[in-house]
Structure 1
Amino acid sequence: MQYLNLFNVAKLSLLLNTREGETKLGQVVQLTNASQDLATNLAQAKSNGVRFAIIGIGEDIGPRANLGRGGATDAFDSAMGQFLNLQSNRFLTGEQSLVLGQVDTQDLQLPANASADALRDNVEKLDQRVIQLLSVVFSAGLEPIVIGGGHNNAYGLLMAAKASLKRPIAAVNLDPHSDFRPKEGRHSGNGFSYAAASGALAFYHVLGLHELKNSETTLEQLKAFGGHWHTYQQIWVRREQSLETALRSIAKDLNNTQLPVAIELDLDAITNMPSSASTAAGIPLLDALFYVNYIAKHCPAAYLHLAEAAPSCHVAGTLAGHRETGQSISELIYSYISGRINAL
């Protein structure tokens, strides 16, 4: 399986802590068979009742190509270390989930002194790997849950979804940044503008857009596309509208498109989350969980994308970063799966 590092039993054994009398999710989730090709693995998983494919993209070339911080390389392992040790019980058994593995990005990582042009060239190479892998996952009828890497990977996800589902995609993104910056070479700040230009993105709503973290050029470009937004200040600062009211409106607009829905979340939207652009003035994790669960439950979601978490950027050190990002992403995964299983 080219450019895919499978999550196998050996990897699972390093992360899983079992206890007599309990069953952990890691003891129930499905894994791939290295002796079979990807399509065969996914078809077999689908026939065994799998609905969700959990995939990691460990890279920080996208944020660095956007002149941001690195560190978004190991969120997947942090998340799996926590998620797989949650209980398998009546609320979630885990049998509907396949832990697939990570996109191989090791050869694309560049040294700290790499130029923006070199980084952006490698982001384009990564785009093709994401499109290639995710197209197979979508075609198998599974819903990807994608963890880690920069928000540049939204482009590859949207392109793969459009190619496999034969329709453009409607997206909602909880993010202080619209990531709709000019097409100046691929990076984490323009995944959605590239997807819009390609025809993969047909409708776009940004929830929690920060009024002072998006250039006027970007806002004008987003408006010209027909994009929509609720700002962070409208909901969480000035309290002009409740989050639930905003989500109800967003879900209605998404459903009116009659298109598959991409649920995007940049972890730097969450208060003090270790990420490529962490913020002290963000939204509570509980609101992010509500957002993911609400849209997953009320819209025809195609996938969940959790981007930009960077455990090594935690102010208390890497171990604290792994713990916080792992717990947070695990809760977000469960919020999505729970919403989809109980979808209206």
Structure 2
Amino acid sequence: MYQPPEASCWTGRVDSVSDERAFRLHQRIRLLDLSGPLTPLEQAAAFIGFVCDEGVRRNQGRQGAKEAPAAVKAALARLPWHLPSGASIYDAGDIVCADGRLEQSQAELGKAIARLLQSGVAPVVIGGGHETAYGHYLGVRAALGPNARLGIINIDAHFDLRPYDNGPTSGTMFRQILDEDKQVGYCCLGIQRLGNTAALFADAERYGCEYILEEQLTAGAIEAAYERIEQFASRHDSIILTICMDAISAAAAPGVSAPSPFGLSPSLARALIRRIVSHPKTISVDLCEVNPLVDEGGKTVALAAAFCMEALLHFRRLQPRR
């Protein structure tokens, strides 16, 4: 299920071949083949794609998110390089879900993420449906060991706490995690009342989920949200951030599996991403539910690439050591 990275994926405009101030990401990206040995790295992050929307299919959503890793990487390639001195960014390839084998592909994604973290590399996972988050979790838990207190912050319109009696989907993974792992805390930012049933709100309370409604997340209230994030992080040893693009208003992000007529503005979501990834406990990020097949003019793909780059620019792990 693992496909090594290919240099041909990283192309774009060249303004200079010698002046690094004019470089774009495709001129600085490095390839990291996870099928071979890894040496420890510092001040490094790696993209890894999860080419899968089987969970979306099972959840009766709009399929097409499996096309996102290639599309988002292509959009990232064209962005200008503004990362701090000494930072290294890699493409670690893709995990591909073949023949509907969702559970196996999630396990393979977990193995890849664990290897990256154990080598000192911060993973930035590009899904795929939001079932990506379960594989992401598996890798982080494997890298941290069973006793670390792990906090998951989810920027999302949905709790994704649905029952999984008939198997996992893109709407079940956080219930799976909370059922399996008593060392996990869960915080959702951007929850929409019209995107979740009363039963799901009740389940969120029963599982001890912390959340802030989309209508409560405004520019004027952003400091209160920051305080909630800090309080949540203080109770955990490590934090992972998962971003579902359907948390963004459909006017700005139409190309998703489940578009939202209401939703966060891109600038507010960017502020939240900056705050979370800059926290010293944040160790990895995923971004999910981009569907290039139903996008309008590529604007959801472009926004997703911008969010990925914002994560890199503000990742504490990529800043020079003092």
TM-score normalised by length of structure 1: 0.83
CA contact (8 A) 2:46 2:123 kept: yes
Deviations 1:108-129 (A, max 9, x none): 35xxxxxxxxxxxx32222222
Secondary structure of the equivalent of 2:108?
helix
Structure 2 residue runs of 5 or longer lacking an equivalent are: none
Residue 101, structure 1, aligned to residue 97, structure 2: no
Runs of 4+ that moved beyond 6 A: none
For residue 315 of structure 2, what is the amino acid of its counterpart? R
TM superposition shift of 1:25: 1.7
After the TM superposition, which residues 182-193 of structure 1 pair with which residues of structure 2 at under 5 Å, given as runs? 182-184=163-165, 185-193=167-175
Please point out which of 63, 69, 78 is paired with 1:76.
69
Residue identity matched to 1:202: V
Relative to structure 1, the CA distance from residue 6 to residue 93 in structure 2 (aligned partners, 3 Å threshold; closer, same or farther) is farther
Matched ranges for 1:1-344 at <5 A: 3-12=1-10, 15-20=11-16, 22-32=22-32, 38=35, 40=37, 42-43=38-39, 46-47=40-41, 49-89=42-82, 91-92=83-84, 95-105=87-97, 107-109=98-100, 122-166=101-145, 167-184=148-165, 185-199=167-181, 202-236=184-218, 242-254=221-233, 256-272=234-250, 273=253, 274-314=255-295, 316=296, 320=297, 323-341=298-316
Could you report, residue by residue, the CA deviation over 1:297-334 in whole angstroms, capped at 9, with x for unpaired residues? 134112111010101112x4xxx2xx323321221122
Could you tell me which residue of structure 2 aligns to residue 117 of structure 1? none
Cα pair 2:290 2:301 within 8 Å, conserved: no
Q: Report how far residue 141 of structure 1 moved.
A: 2.1
In structure 2, the CA distance between the partners of 1:141 and 1:94, relative to structure 1 (3 Å rule), is closer
In structure 1, C-alpha distance between the alignment counterparts of 2:99 and 2:248, rounded to whole Å: 28
**Post-superposition offset of 1:11:** 2.9
TM-aligned CA deviation for residue 93 of structure 1: 6.2
CA distance in 2, matches of 1:71, 1:99: 22
1:201 to partner: Cα distance: 5.8
Q: Retained in 1: the 8 A contact 2:9–2:73?
A: no
CA positional deviation for 1:200:
6.8
Structure 1: state its 5+ residue gaps: 110-121
Assess if the C-alpha contact under 8 Å between 2:150 and 2:184 holds in 1. yes
Amino acid at match of 1:291: L
AA of the residue aligned to 1:282: G
Shift of 1:9: 2.0
CA distance, structure 1, for counterparts of residue 50 and residue 315 of structure 2: 23
Question: 2:119 & 2:35 partners in 1: Cα distance?
Answer: 10
Asked if the contact 1:28–1:95 (Cα under 8 Å) also holds between the matched residues in 2, the reply is: no
Q: In terms of mean alpha carbon deviation, does 327-336 or 19-28 score higher?
A: 19-28
**How large is the Cα RMSD of the aligned pairs?**
2.3
Per-residue deviation at 1:280? 2.5
Aligned residue type for 1:74: E
Change in 2 beyond 3 A, CA 1:309/1:93: farther
**C-alpha distance after superposition, 1:52-75 (max 9, x if no partner):** 110111221111111111110122
* Shift in alpha-carbon separation, 1:133–1:10, aligned structure 2, 3 A: same
> Is 2:113–2:139's contact at 8 Å kept on the other side of the alignment?
yes
CA distance in 2, matches of 1:311, 1:264: 19
Report if the CA contact (8 A) 1:65-1:187 is conserved. Answer: yes
Structure 1 position 192, deviation (Å): 0.6
Q: CA deviation at 1:103?
A: 0.6
Q: Take 1:108 and 1:139, find their aligned partners in 2: how far apart are those partners? A: 30
Answer yes or no: is the 8 Å Cα contact 1:183–1:190 preserved in 2: yes
Aligned sequence identity (%): 21
> 1:82: how far off?
2.0
Describe the SS at the equivalent of 2:283: strand
Aligned residues: 309
Cα distance 1:247–1:174, how it changes in 2: closer, same or farther (>3 A)? same
Equivalent position SS for 1:242: helix
Q: Does structure 2 conserve the Cα–Cα contact (< 8 Å) formed by 1:162 and 1:200?
A: no
Encode CA deviations 1:198-223: one digit per residue, 9 max, x unaligned.
11761111111111221222222221
Which stretch has the larger CA shift, 209-218 or 146-155? 209-218
**Which whole-Å CA distance do the structure 2 matches of 1:200 and 1:19 have between them?**
51
CA change 1:332–1:94 in 2 (3 A) is: farther
